[in-house]
Amino acid sequence: MKFWFVAATRLARDAFHRDAMLARSLARAEAFSPFVLAVAYDNRRPLADAYNAAIEQSGRDDVLAFVHDDVWVDDWHVAQRLRDGLAAFDVVGVAGSVTREPRQASWVFDGDKPRPNREGLSGGVQHGAPDRSSPARFGDTPTEVRLLDGVFLAARAATLKERGVRFDPRFPFHFYDTDFCRSCEKAGLRLGTWPIALTHASSGKGWDGPAWDAAYRVYLDKWGE
């Protein structure tokens, strides 16, 4: 069994390994959690292309963690965390929503707007730079959820292969995670949050503008609500 970290980045190879938070943090974690690093460099294509390629290339016993390139993996024992989490759930992440309502655009949304409170949410993450981050605790974890934050998603390769679950390239970035979670649910998979220590440089705010609106229309056309 191998542990894969799968990412796509706009950086060139050398710049990614020198500057990206993900690469720098994994270099520190590798002694404790050996892994395969699969990165789409200079990427301008949908995340789905890189993520689906890794699914096809992986062995059945492998574990795949799909993660953004601006994530610092604080948890040196992330491989053991994934073993534990995937013994309890089919797909794990660090934050998510216990419920899913009609037309819910994201795990942290109420309908098509950000929810005003953290009721019904689970998990947590740090935001900012590794040495000056601020905590965002959403709720208790581990918890079974309906939607997960795409900043970090993990599953066994065999689970995705056997159930025919893939990422949809119709969602270049926005809604790819919400759509993936819906596909997992449709395939009968259980999703859950798990306590894995991460720091995300972005606060995750980017839900307005033409690209978001276009992706939301595609999402509603696909799922009907």
- What's the confidence (pLDDT) of residue 208? 76
Token readout for 87 is: 């013994």
What's the pLDDT score for residue 204? 64
Domain region containing 22: 3-223
- pLDDT at residue 203, rounded to an integer: 73
Choose among 179, 189, 181: nearest CA to 215.
179
CB hemisphere CA count around 59 (13 angstroms) = 6
Number of domains in the chain: 1
Strand spans (E) along 68-116: 71-73, 91-93, 95-97, 109-110, 113-114
Whole-prediction pTM: 0.96
Quick one: pLDDT at residue 206? 67
Q: State the CATH number of the domain containing residue 122.
A: 3.90.550.10
pLDDT along the chain (225 residues), means of 10: 97 98 95 95 98 97 97 96 98 97 94 89 96 95 98 98 98 97 98 98 78 96 95
